[in-house]
């Protein structure tokens, strides 16, 4: 099971005005050896709420450091905190590296990699390209890097240094949305049409063996469709979605909306180990997730409605159990539900784990 381990912050470095690179040292426990392109999931209490956020590792596997890049997201609680408050000496908690945004590194192979990164989506792509360039001397990497303007390009100087270090093997194409460049091709957004233009004039798409895409949703769709149109198979295209709507932003929006419409949230009272706790929860959240986010040590194992570890009883109010593969009919009649599969319908609910 995924567990959290402490990591000490050894450095917080600003890369651009609203992004930091955080260097971490694992304290005890947990295997933090990572594969290029993986991410860390952090857990942090902010304003009494437990937040979990994932950030990609941006260091290469041969650099001997563990670094993540955190870009401030408008209204993002964790990213704002990391940019404003995080300092060397502080301790963060993270799970061991996860993610499959990588392909096997083989020193003897000479492949042509094509990477697309949008904004802070550069972080895992940077880890991959550094690792590829260091470990596969015969491989090349072409990076298409989309940003709003010159001053929002993370790792710009580091990429220049890498180009010089691996002469002729790394090419970087900056596509800027708002800053005009000498060549029209490099201005605008990276969508399917832009990819077509790049493939026609700049990138030999037929020679590409593997493509990596990391960015927000529309960019992922546009690039993937262009790559498929040029014959790349699903096995050749690796995705890492940097969702524009990470949950803390969603939660905030819902919270604001809750002021005008009470129907989006529920007042929950949860009894566990003899003590009752009350909190307000989003109706789009399962009872289990809401309990965990409110620092209750709610039991669970599969989170799939299978194992019945999260069984609890609804004493008041109404919930919808979207799946049940564990409870008997008579248990359901008595008001038992699986917390991992249950979503509130009424504006207030009372849940008991002790019965």
Partner 1 sequence: MSDEMNIADYLAQGGRLTNPTNVPARYRAELMKIMATFVDSELAGAAGFADVINAGPGIKERIAAARIVLEKTDNADRVLRLMGEFGANTDRYANHHPWSDRLPRDTGPGTRRSAHDMRLSVLNYPLNGWADAVVMNLCMGLGVCVQLEELVKVSYQPLAEAIRGILPAERHHAELAEEGLVRLLAEGADLTGSLAYWHPRVAAMFGDVAADRMAQLRAWGLRDRGGADLQAEWQERFDQALIRLGVT
Contact by Cβ (8 Å): 343, 286: yes
- As a dihedral over the C-alpha atoms of residue 254, residue 260, residue 264, residue 266, rounded to 10 degrees, the angle is 110
Q: Where are the beta strands (DSSP E) in 191-310?
A: 210-215, 237-241, 265-272, 275-282
Q: How many residues does the chain have?
A: 355
Please, which residue, 63 or 217, has the CB nearer to partner 1? 217
- Please report the DSSP string for 136-160 in residue order: -TT-EEEEEEEESSGGG-TTHHHHH
Query: Nearest distance from residue 80's CB to partner 1, in Å?
Result: 17
Residue (131 or 147) nearer to partner 1, CB: 147
Which of residues 156 and 285 has its CB atom nearest to partner 1 in the complex? 285
Taking the least distance from each CB to partner 1, the nearer of 6 and 99 is 99
Q: How far is the CB of 54 from partner 1 (least distance, A)?
A: 5
| Residues 44, 92 contacting (CB under 8 angstroms) | yes
Smallest gap from Cβ 168 to partner 1, in A, equals 31
Return the number of the residue (95 or 132) whose C-beta is nearest partner 1. 95
Q: 194 in helix, strand or coil? A: helix
Nearest to 327 by CA among 345, 349, 342, 346: 342
Please report how close the Cβ of residue 295 comes to partner 1 at its closest, in angstroms.
15
Contact criterion met (CB below 8 Å) for 98 and 42: no
CA distance 321 to 327: 11
CA-CA-CA-CA torsion sign (147, 151, 152, 155): positive
**Between 270 and 339, CB nearer to partner 1:** 339
Least distance from partner 1 to the Cβ atom of residue 271, Å? 22
Kindly list the residues in this chain that would bind partner 1 in the complex (CB under 8 A): 1-2, 39, 41, 52-54, 98-101, 118, 189, 191, 216-222, 224-225, 234-235, 238-241, 243-247, 284-286, 289, 300-307, 309, 322-323, 325-326, 328, 340-341, 343
Q: Closer CB to partner 1, residue 115 or residue 222?
A: 222
User: Phi/psi of residue 59, each to 5°?
Assistant: -85, 160
Give min distance, CB of 206 to partner 1, in A: 23
Q: C-beta of 239: minimal distance to partner 1 in Å? A: 5
Rg (the chain; Cα; Å): 23
């Amino acid at each position: 099971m995924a567990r959290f381990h402490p990591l000490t912050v050894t450095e917080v470095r600003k890369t651009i005005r609203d992004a930091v690179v955080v260097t971490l040292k694992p304290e005890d426990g947990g295997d933090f050896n990572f594969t290029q392109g993986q991410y860390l999931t952090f857990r942090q209490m902010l304003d009494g709420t437990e937040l979990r956020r994932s950030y990609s590792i941006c260091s290469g596997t041969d650099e001997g450091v563990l670094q993540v890049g955190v870009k401030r997201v408008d209204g993002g609680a964790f990213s704002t905190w990391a940019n404003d408050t995080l300092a060397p000496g502080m301790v963060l908690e993270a799970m061991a590296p996860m993610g499959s945004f990588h392909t096997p590194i083989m020193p003897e192979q000479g492949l042509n990699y094509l990477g697309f990164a949008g904004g802070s989506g550069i972080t895992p792509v940077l880890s991959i390209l550094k690792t590829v360039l260091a470990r596969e001397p015969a491989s090349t990497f072409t990076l298409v890097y989309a940003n709003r303007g010159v001053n929002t390009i993370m790792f710009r100087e580091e990429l220049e240094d890498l180009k010089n270090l691996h002469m002729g093997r790394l090419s970087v194409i900056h596509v800027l949305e708002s800053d005009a460049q000498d060549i029209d091709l490099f201005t605008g957004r990276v969508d399917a049409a832009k990819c077509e233009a790049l493939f026609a004039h700049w990138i030999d798409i037929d020679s590409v063996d593997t493509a990596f895409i990391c960015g927000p949703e529309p960019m992922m769709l546009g690039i993937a469709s262009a790559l498929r149109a040029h014959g790349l198979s699903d096995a050749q295209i690796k995705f890492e979605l940097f969702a524009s709507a990470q949950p803390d932003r969603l939660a905030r929006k819902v919270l604001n909306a809750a002021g005008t419409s009470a129907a989006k949230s529920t007042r929950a009272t949860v009894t566990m180990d003899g003590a009752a706790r009350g909190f307000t929860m989003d109706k789009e959240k399962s009872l289990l997730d809401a309990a965990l986010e409110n620092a209750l040590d709610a039991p669970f194992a599969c989170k799939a409605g299978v194992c019945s570890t999260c069984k609890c009883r609804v004493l008041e109010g109404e919930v919808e159990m979207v799946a049940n593969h564990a409870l008997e009919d008579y248990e359901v009649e008595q008001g038992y539900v699986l917390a991992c599969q249950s979503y509130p319908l009424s504006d207030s609910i009372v849940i008991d784990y002790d019965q």
